[in-house]
């Protein structure tokens, strides 16, 4: 069975601070994909990144960066120089590479950026 | 590109009333489709998924059902709503041509009173 754990329920930081959102996963699949989604107050899920399990290269996109550590089954997300617009709920998700392609989500982390 | 349409955006229904939420897909054919529910303060729970017309798999036993009468149409239903059915319902589509994999609708916020 697959499981995604986001231990941080809520985080608040002051604007311009860096913040890291943790994600730990469990899976028996040898190949899989990991995702991060952002859910603003409007409710719609916004795709941020997909990472293949066979590619451990970390990725940076502007103020966003992701640290994939297969040895510790973690896929953490860091926002540098946070902005108020970053306030949202962030979900980490996992799915097997093959099969019915269901996404298993973590419970989400509510991030509040204080101006 | 693939677009997921959901309606209505918000819905308030009395306990015991029926429910029908519709999700339609634009811009792709033969997608996998999914219904997720997000209860207040909780994560996203997969309710149903469908890999084709008439093919429905249920993830959790509950008061809801799903149907896929057409390739691009996915319907979530209930004969009699319970208070515990309140939540935010999201429809998602999976298209193999998409590198990110999934497109989500804008969701329906259901309140059962």
Burial of A73 (0-12, 13-18, 19+ CB in 10 A): middle
Sign for the CA dihedral angle at A2, B33, A48, B60 comes to negative
**Per-residue pLDDT tens over the stretch B62-105:** 789 999 999 999 999 999 999 999 999 999 998 766 665 688 99
Q: Give the pLDDT confidence score for residue A89 in this predicted structure.
A: 95
Q: What is the mean pLDDT of residues A44-69?
A: 88
pLDDT digits (tens, 9 = 90+) for A12-32: 999 999 999 999 999 998 889
| Residue B46, helix vs strand vs coil | strand
Q: Give the C-alpha distances (Å, rounded to integers) separating A61 from A18, A73, B62, B73, B93.
A: 15, 22, 40, 35, 25
Which pLDDT value is given to residue B60? 78
Give pLDDT, residue B41: 65
Cβ–Cβ of B101/A95 closer than 8 Å?
yes
Question: Residue B78: phi, psi to the nearest 5?
Answer: -150, 145
Is any Cβ of chain A less than 8 angstroms from the Cβ of B92?
yes
User: Half-sphere exposure of residue B95, counting CA atoms within 13 Å on the CB side?
Assistant: 17
CA-based nearest distance B106→chain A, Å: 5
Distance from CA of A81 to the nearest CA of B (A): 26
Nearest to B20 by CA among B40, B1, B35: B35
Residue A77, H or E segment: strand A74-79
Task: Give the pairing type, strands B87-94 and B32-38.
Answer: antiparallel
* Subunit contact A44:B92, Cβ cutoff 8 A: no
Mutate which of A46, A100, A104, A109 to disrupt the B interface (most B C-beta within 10 Å)?
A: A100
Instruction: Report the residue from B32, B44, B59 with minimal CB separation from A105.
Output: B44
**Interface contact B101-A101, CB threshold 8 A:** yes
Q: What is the pLDDT of residue B97?
A: 61
What percentage of chain B exceeds 90 in pLDDT? 68
Give B90→chain A minimum CA distance, Å.
8
**Residue A50 sits at the chain B interface (C-beta within 8 Å):** yes
Average pLDDT over residues B6-17: 95
Q: Is the pLDDT of residue B36 over 90?
A: yes
| Distant-in-sequence contacts of B53-61, Cβ < 8 A, 24+ apart | B57/A100, B59/A102
Q: Considering chain A, what percentage of its residues have pLDDT values greater than 90?
A: 70
Q: Among B42, B88, B100, whose Cβ lies nearest the Cβ of A107?
A: B42
B31 touches chain A (CB under 8 A): no
């Amino acid at each position: 069975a697959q499981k995604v754990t986001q231990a941080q329920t809520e985080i608040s930081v002051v604007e311009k601070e860096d913040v890291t959102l943790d994600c730990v996963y469990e899976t028996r699949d040898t190949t899989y994909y990991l995702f991060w989604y952002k859910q603003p107050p409007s409710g719609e899920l916004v795709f941020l990144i997909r990472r293949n399990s066979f590619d451990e290269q970390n990725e940076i996109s502007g103020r966003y960066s992701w640290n994939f550590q297969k040895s510790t089954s973690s896929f953490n997300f860091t926002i540098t120089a946070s902005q108020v617009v970053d306030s949202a709920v962030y979900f980490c998700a996992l799915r097997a590479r093959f099969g019915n392609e269901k996404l298993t989500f973590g419970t989400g982390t509510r991030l509040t950026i204080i101006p | 590109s693939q677009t997921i349409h959901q309606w209505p955006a918000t819905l308030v229904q009395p306990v015991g009333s029926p429910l029908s939420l519709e999700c339609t897909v634009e811009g792709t054919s033969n997608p996998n489709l999914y219904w997720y529910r997000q209860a207040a303060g909780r994560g996203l729970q997969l309710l149903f998924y469908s890999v084709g017309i008439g093919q429905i798999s249920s993830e959790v036993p509950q008061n809801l059902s799903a149907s896929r009468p057409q390739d691009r149409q996915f319907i979530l239903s209930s004969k009699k709503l319970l208070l515990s059915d309140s939540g935010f319902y999201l429809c998602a589509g999976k298209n193999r041509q998409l590198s990110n994999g999934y497109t989500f609708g804008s969701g329906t916020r259901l309140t059962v009173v």
